[in-house]
């Protein structure tokens, strides 16, 4: 399902950014100052990793017009994108992150 929105990501939890399988280009941007770790999956199963392989560290970090598979080539058939605030890992306490996402 297409979306063009900002999603609040609760501290300490993986939040699914894509609301359905997204195989077309997506755009992602960190919309506040709370860094997030990103992970891709092949379905709606929540990641079990403590942190993902990519991170958005500063407000405005992100990418546009790339598929999830292009950003996560190690996850065959990746179609879902997740974010998890890393604030506790860097000593900021439990603070929610906000991530903007747009995809078809």
pTM of the model: 0.92
Alpha-carbon span 27 to 53, nearest angstrom: 18
pLDDT under 50: residue ranges of the chain: none
pLDDT at residue 27, rounded to an integer: 96
Could you read off the pLDDT of 14-31 as tens digits, one per residue? 999 998 999 999 999 999
pLDDT at residue 92, rounded to an integer: 63
Alpha-carbon span 103 to 62, nearest angstrom: 14
pLDDT at residue 85, rounded to an integer: 93
Alpha helices in the chain (DSSP H): 68-71
Alpha-carbon span 27 to 46, nearest angstrom: 21
Could you read off the pLDDT of 75-87 as tens digits, one per residue? 999 999 999 998 7
What domains are there in the chain, each with its CATH number?
A: 3-103 (2.60.120)
Name residue, tokens 């997740």.
82
């Amino acid at each position: 399902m297409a979306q063009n929105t900002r999603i609040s990501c609760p501290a300490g939890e993986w939040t699914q950014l894509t609301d359905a399988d997204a195989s077309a280009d997506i755009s992602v941007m960190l919309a506040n100052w709370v860094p997030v770790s990103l992970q891709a999956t092949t379905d709606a199963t929540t990641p079990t990793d403590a942190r993902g392989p990519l991170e958005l560290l500063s407000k405005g970090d992100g990418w546009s017009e790339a598929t999830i598979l292009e950003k996560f080539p190690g996850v065959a058939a990746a179609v879902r994108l997740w974010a998890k605030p890393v604030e506790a890992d860097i000593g900021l306490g439990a603070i929610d992150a906000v991530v903007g996402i747009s995809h078809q």
